[in-house]
Amino acid sequence: MLVFTRHLAVCLICAAAVRADASQFSLKAVAKGGASITPTNSVTASPGDQIVTEIFLSEWARDLPSGVRIMQARLDGNLDFISGGRGTVLPCHWDGPWNPVGCSSPSQCPPQFPICWPQHGCGGPDRNPPLCAFIEEDRPDFVLFGLGTITIVDTSTLNYRFGSVADDAVGVADPGHAVYCGTLILDVSLDACGTFVIGFTAGESFIADNGFDPRRVEPTLEPLTITLPACPPKAIGCQPEHCTIDARIPHHPDFPGVRLNDHIVVMSFTSSTAGMTTSDFQVTIDPDDDFVPGVADVLVSDASATIVLNQRIPAEHYTCIRHIESDWQCCLGSLPADADWNGTSDANDVAELLDNLTGVFVPPLLMVRCDTDRSELCTGADLLRAVDLLVGVDSFAPTDGDALTPCPPN
């Protein structure tokens, strides 16, 4: 949305840009948690804090010797508000999707933002961004203080735009110190952690003078860094990969009690896993089964954790190892003879193994699919062992027609 003062809109200048090294736009925190702080472009905050920030312009004497008449500062909100660790740092009263959703009726809005607000799309009941993004023209340190001005604050997207133009064809000389250009109030979400950097959009933040053909200058841009407590490590991957199906024999051919399925999973994380223990992980079986392995040990190294189960995973189930803090799990299936990984063991799996041996697949099938006899090689013997598994030879129960339930999500 656009917020106008003095009932007049203006098209901000679009002349070719001139690079500048002296003038600067800076976003600084001036208050946190309701208390004023010394203006700074690097602030430490806590989840749930509200941070008042202000845009400042400084040192334009060399770039615009005839003075500033026009300024526009546009925030790089599409990425920076959400690109920190976890959670969000968003303008207060935004209460809408990161990317605006246009609508003409509430039925077009997503469930979490069910209200169709006139002119600016879907949002929640708290949506009112102009309350948190504005320009105080009556402040003595305002860049165009004392002049008739037109100001614009555009909050239609997270690329908030602050603009001011002097009515009179006069420019303001550089006073030798930073001057105020706008206010932005930010809310730190309760689940926020890590570091957020909120800055300006290059090429769309500029100042210009009062000439007939105004000279436009792009100041250097100093962002605001908000540092929150470090994020706990978050699980992002695993080996074997999530939903891998082990088509190999699940136990020794002559001794069913000698289980051969995997019992080790290596999870990768976003940061150091130092200090993780067995209590950080939970094992479940899908579908439910009386046989559920436990976590015997966790070995950490840099940003990975090796989870060692106290028993081998059971056949014809998915075994899921969940990192509790991340609420993320890695599920491994076992379905003897299911070489084509369609979740069902049948004669098609024998054909899959034959195609693999004759070079149909490039690259060839993974060992977990084609090495049904666990010889560490994929050979013709694996076709015979797949048939054994399907019909139930030696101590193996027949698996022909057996199927896995769909792989549980991460």
- Pick from 80-89, 113-122, 214-223: least confident: 80-89
To which residue do tokens 């490039």 refer?
362
Of all residues in the chain, the percent with pLDDT exceeding 70 is: 92
pLDDT at 204: 93
User: Which structure tokens are listed for 222?
Assistant: 């100093």
pLDDT at 19 over 60: no
Query: According to the model, what pLDDT value does residue 1 have?
Result: 36
pLDDT grade for 80, boundaries at 50, 70 and 90 = low
Torsion angle of alpha carbons 185, 191, 195, 201, nearest 10°?
Answer: -40
Q: How many CA atoms lie within 13 A of 193 on its CB side?
A: 10
Q: For residue 82, what pLDDT is reported?
A: 55
Q: In this structure, what are the phi and psi dihedrals at residue 298, rounded to the nearest 5 degrees?
A: -130, 120
Residue range 23-73, pLDDT digits in tens: 999 999 999 999 999 999 999 999 999 999 999 999 999 999 999 999 999
Q: Does the pLDDT value for residue 261 go beyond 90?
A: yes
Q: To the nearest whole number, what is the mean pLDDT of the chain?
A: 89
Domains annotated for the chain, with CATH where assigned, are 2-93+128-227 (2.60.40.680), 235-391 (2.60.40.1130)
The answer on pLDDT for 11 being more than 90 is no
pLDDT at residue 14 is higher than 80: no
Q: What is the pLDDT of residue 13?
A: 41
DSSP 250: S
Query: Residue 164 corresponds to which tokens in the numbers above?
Result: 């001011």
